[in-house]
Structure 1
């Protein structure tokens, strides 16, 4: 099949085959491209969609982007079952196999170093949210009898809101310190925008933790024990994922010229 080469990840040779009938981006099954003992996991994708200009336009199309990201993640998830992949950024595309090999040659030392560091490890994500409040509009719940009563109720509301946010920030800091001490590495990401994510509550912690597979059960139990520590807060755990936050990917630019 002709077409450009879409690269999902680089990894060591697989210890077991990928699941049968796995399809990737643009519906094409992933293939393994070997170079100096490393594996690039690639699919063939059509130039009409993945050359530089159409790809740039497609990345502004939310439906197309969602479908492509889901297919990309499906391959990464399948790889995570059988090996420790070094995931590349969504939309990493090269002209042909030779372009992929040139990239692997140029970055071989970095790939080997990072793969050795990530071997046997997975990423867990932990988010803390301040739950929506009854007076989310900022209006007191009780009807004020006078202007003075209204101002008094407003002051109580503001103080309660400030206290909750202070508790949330202190809890998030403590939780991050505890989880970081039980992980091999950690990353703090910017809080998620509630409007864009569509998730209820205000995000006060958005962190990733690199954890050994053998210690993941203990890490999950540690997070579970904190979930009810502070009323009004919600703790969410996701994973295990391939270690995107620790892959050290500077760019997803390929060579499609």
Structure 2
């Protein structure tokens, strides 16, 4: 089947459109703009067999497909963000044709335009706090043995003593982590204009040592970016077992969800 669909990456203002010559997106397709009034959408043509509603359900469960698509999707958005204010759309936002894209832009033009105006000259920074929290399992090794445990102690008493020690160590670690989170929030005051709290990453999603106890996104004026980054990198100074990771600057992914259409408005839309 040769039929093609429209994959939409982001919304930008139409008054000063970015140059997309040579920009390639999902499936290596060239990226173009479709405009309607004050706003435009960055799109590319994708094949029906790979991006129909049924195909997307399969693709979103395929880690290799998902990684490649996400990489291409975000690459287009970051290319746009280097030249203009951008409203990122959700991954795998697909429409039947350009007419449907224009219809979406017409229906949401006022919201898009207002948000573009509010986000002008602002960027997103990610701030994650990680803590070395001891395991809660009674059989897990502790960082150090309970200092008061005598040799040959009764097994039951030793077990209870180890449990108390582990519980105290976890409580201490969480107190330090909470202080680190409080410091990041305090350091953001006067710099960030908005914050979004994401669910802490767990298991394989974290991909780094430590337990993720805070996963926040901050909207920061571009001119204050370096000060914000410096403050966050030093927010946990003097706190043992805690690390603050700072990423960015990014396009404002976390601050466009209220108006951004999602994948449900894709090939299944009529």
TM-score, length basis structure 1: 0.91
Structure 2 stretches lacking a partner, 5+ long: none
Q: Please state whether the residue corresponding to 2:90 is helix, strand or coil.
A: coil
Q: Aligned partners of 2:99, 2:17: CA distance in 1, in Å?
A: 25
Alignment map for 1:17-166 (pairs within 5 Å): 17-18=19-20, 21-131=22-132, 133=134, 138-140=140-142, 141-142=144-145, 145-146=152-153, 147=155, 148-166=157-175
Q: Aligned partners of 2:7, 2:171: CA distance in 1, in Å?
A: 48
Q: Is the 8 A contact 1:132 1:200 kept in 2?
A: no
Q: Does 1:206 align with 2:215?
A: yes
Q: Is the 8 A contact 1:128 1:233 kept in 2?
A: yes
TM-score, length basis structure 2: 0.86
Aligned to 1:254: 265
Q: Aligned partners of 1:63, 1:249: CA distance in 2, in Å?
A: 29
Aligned to 1:228: 237
Q: Please state whether the residue corresponding to 2:82 is helix, strand or coil.
A: helix
Q: Aligned partners of 1:102, 1:134: CA distance in 2, in Å?
A: 53
Q: Is the 8 A contact 2:38 2:109 kept in 1?
A: no
Q: Aligned partners of 1:12, 1:135: CA distance in 2, in Å?
A: 52
Q: Aligned partners of 1:242, 1:189: CA distance in 2, in Å?
A: 16
Q: Is the 8 A contact 2:25 2:31 kept in 1?
A: yes
Q: Is the 8 A contact 2:194 2:219 kept in 1?
A: yes
| Range moving further from structure 2, 180-189 or 127-136 | 127-136
Indicate how the Cα distance of structure 1 residues 83 and 101 shifts in structure 2: closer, same or farther if over 3 A, else same: same
Indicate how the Cα distance of structure 1 residues 17 and 251 shifts in structure 2: closer, same or farther if over 3 A, else same: closer
Q: Report the aligned-residue RMSD.
A: 2.3
Structure 1 stretches lacking a partner, 5+ long: none
The number of residue pairs the alignment matches comes to: 256
Q: Aligned partners of 2:37, 2:17: CA distance in 1, in Å?
A: 17
Q: Aligned partners of 2:214, 2:190: CA distance in 1, in Å?
A: 16
Q: Aligned partners of 1:25, 1:177: CA distance in 2, in Å?
A: 40
Indicate how the Cα distance of structure 1 residues 127 and 133 shifts in structure 2: closer, same or farther if over 3 A, else same: same
Q: Is the 8 A contact 2:176 2:242 kept in 1?
A: no
Aligned to 2:204: 195
